[in-house]
């Protein structure tokens, strides 16, 4: 895909990190509503952090196999622009809130370990606003590990594919390769811009955003 590569940074827990990300020019910020994550936020924390996010930057709320009542509570209290699902949610589970959603796929998991299986699974989620590709991890996401990008070959060429978000182990050093190889609509990172889980580095945020911009510019030249 030509044009601008959108940038989503994930796993925010601190106001100063959100300010750094907004200043760097990101398109979307993720907060994690999954209590087992090292980057989890409470609804009260998210309400306070949300004040740091200006117009035209989207807030994405992440869930893993959530209780629907909890998702509804987050929607009402925090007003996320999009939902993102990382667990075993069915298409109906993702659609039931009437909100735009991102479906995450853990590429390399059983049943998602061939090109054909990946595309077939993705097609079940035709109602998603984007398909996010992450590595297989027992923690459901945010592992900092990459995966075999060749498993996305069928998705890349499918005419009915939803916009691709590339995630999983991205860093300022390797994100350019991923963009060149797959031409995703957007990239998503958590670990690669951190000093420790949930604590972001302004320098790494800037380096990541610059690396995306430089690679995208090269593709457009
Ligand atoms: O970050 C977590 O702790 C997490 C836990 C459960 C589900 C998703 C989670 N994070 C999602 C992300 O941060 C990203 O969408 C993606 O997994 C990339 O993470 P990383 O490899 O760390 O860059």
CATH class of residue range 6-220:
alpha beta
pLDDT-above-70 percentage for the chain: 99
Q: Is the pLDDT of residue 2 over 90?
A: no
Q: Ligand 1, residues 7, 9, 10, 201: which to mutate, most atoms within 8 A of Cβ?
A: 10
Mean pLDDT of the chain: 96
Q: How confident is the model at residue 221 (pLDDT cuts 50, 70, 90)?
A: confident
Ligand 1 mean position, distance from CA 221 (Å): 32
For residue 106, is it left (φ>0), alpha (ψ between -120 and 50) or beta?
A: beta
Contacts for 16-20: CB closer than 8 Å, 24+ residues apart: 17/199, 17/200, 17/202, 17/205, 18/49, 18/52, 18/53, 19/52, 20/200, 20/202, 20/205, 20/206
Residue 141, helix vs strand vs coil = coil
Rounded Cα distance between 136 and 46, Å, is 27
Nearest CA, atom 14, ligand 1: 142
What value of ipTM does the predicted structure carry?
0.97
Q: Is the pLDDT of residue 1 over 60?
A: no
Locate the domains of the chain by residue range.
6-220
pLDDT in tens, 6-42: 999 999 999 999 999 999 999 999 999 999 999 999 9
Give the atom of ligand 1 at the shortest distance from the alpha carbon of 165. Answer: 15
189 within ligand 1 shell (Cβ under 6 A): yes
166 within ligand 1 shell (Cβ under 6 A): no
Are 41 and 49 a contacting pair, CB within 8 Å? yes
Indicate which residues carry an active-site annotation: 10, 134
What is the model's pTM? 0.96
pLDDT in tens, 182-192: 999 999 999 99
Q: Is the pLDDT of residue 3 over 90?
A: no
- Tally Cβ neighbours within 10 Å of residue 220: 10
Average pLDDT over residues 97-106: 98
pLDDT in tens, 147-177: 999 999 999 999 999 999 999 999 999 999 9
């Amino acid at each position: 895909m030509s044009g601008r590569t959108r940038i989503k940074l994930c796993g925010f827990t601190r106001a100063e990190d959100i300010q750094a990300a907004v200043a760097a020019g990101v398109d979307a910020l993720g907060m994690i509503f999954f209590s087992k994550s090292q980057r989890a936020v409470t609804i009260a924390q998210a309400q306070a952090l949300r004040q740091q996010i200006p117009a035209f930057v989207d807030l994405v709320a992440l869930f893993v196999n959530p209780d629907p009542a909890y998702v509804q509570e987050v929607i009402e209290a925090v007003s996320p622009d999009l939902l993102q699902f990382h667990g075993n949610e069915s298409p109906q589970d993702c659609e039931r809130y009437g909100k735009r959603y991102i479906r995450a796929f853990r590429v390399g998991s059983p049943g998602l370990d061939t090109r054909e299986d990946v595309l077939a699974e993705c097609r079940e989620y035709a109602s998603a606003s984007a398909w996010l590709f992450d590595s297989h991890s027992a923690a459901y996401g945010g592992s900092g590990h990459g995966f075999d990008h060749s498993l996305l070959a069928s998705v890349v060429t499918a005419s009915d594919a939803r916009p691709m978000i590339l995630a999983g182990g991205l860093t300022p050093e390797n994100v350019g390769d991923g963009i060149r190889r797959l031409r995703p609509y957007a990239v998503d990172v958590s670990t690669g811009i951190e000093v420790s889980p949930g604590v972001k580095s302004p320098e790494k945020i800037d380096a990541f955003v610059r690396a995306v911009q430089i690679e995208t510019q090269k593709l457009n030249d």
